[in-house]
């Protein structure tokens, strides 16, 4: 799930950076599309890296099974 969220944030951020030059006038006064794009790109990359690190840690864990016979 973390990888998907990271990809979605990255794609939306890149669209805001390169495809959308201006927001509507009412929204343009409040936020800048390039700033929002960079924030989403950074959040997407961070989410991707964290999810890959966490998945790597999960795959390296070993499980010990203990059996006792009576």
- Burial tier of 33 (Cβ tally within 10 Å: 0-12, 13-18, 19+): middle
pLDDT value for 56:
80
Q: How many domains does the chain have?
A: 1
Rounded to two decimals, the pTM is 0.73
**17 near 34, Cβ under 8 Å?**
yes
Specify if 18 maps to a domain.
yes
Specify if 65 maps to a domain.
no
Specify if 62 maps to a domain.
no
pLDDT digits (tens, 9 = 90+) for 14-57: 998 888 877 777 777 788 888 889 999 999 999 999 999 988 87
Q: Give me the domain span that covers residue 30.
A: 2-55
- Higher-pLDDT residue of 70, 40: 40
Specify if 34 maps to a domain.
yes
Specify if 20 maps to a domain.
yes
- Higher-pLDDT residue of 48, 58: 48
pLDDT value for 67:
86
> How wide is the angle at C-alpha 11 spanned by C-alphas 29 and 14, nearest 5°?
50
Convert the chain into a string of H (helix), E (strand) and C (coil): CHHHHHHHHHHHHHHHHHCCCCCCHHHHCCCCHHHHHHHHHHHHHHHHHHHHHHHHHHHCCCCCCCCCCC
């Amino acid at each position: 799930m973390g990888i998907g969220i990271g990809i979605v944030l990255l794609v939306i951020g890149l669209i805001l950076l390169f495809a959308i030059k201006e927001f509507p006038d009412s929204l343009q006064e409040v936020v800048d599309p390039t700033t929002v794009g960079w924030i989403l790109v950074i959040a997407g990359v961070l989410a991707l890296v964290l999810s890959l690190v966490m998945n790597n840690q999960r795959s390296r864990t070993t499980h010990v099974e203990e059996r006792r016979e009576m």
